[in-house]
Amino acid sequence: MNIKANLSILDIIGHLLIWVVLTIITFGIALFFFPYSFSRFVINRTSVVDITTGAERKMVCDINIFSNIGHIILWMIISILTFGLGYIFYFYRVWNYALNNSRIQ
């Protein structure tokens, strides 16, 4: 099995522009929601390809940005107390959560 990502440059630019605008409007608070959106964005555009048959099955991420408000608030506090260093760990934890809540269609 191989993993194939179908990310176009226009999709990436559009996604980034939306989040840059949201970050500016919310004075950076949107950055705590960004890892959820980013991981879901990539996973939903990824598929698993069977080498022997060539069958391609799409991956689906079942997370919701707003369903984890408590988790986001906790990591906001950790990030503020650690002067931003906690955000690095937060990004990895969100990816871990997103991958554990993904499935193959």
Q: Tens digit of pLDDT for each residue in 6-52?
A: 999 999 999 999 999 999 999 999 999 999 999 999 999 999 999 88
What would the pLDDT profile of 85-98 be if each residue is shown by its tens digit?
A: 999 999 999 999 99
For residue 70, name the pLDDT band (cuts at 50, 70, 90): confident
Distances (CA, A) of 98 to 13, 17, 21, 33, 53: 22, 22, 24, 13, 28
Q: State the distance between the two ends of the chain, measured CA to CA, in whole angstroms.
A: 15
Global pTM reads: 0.86
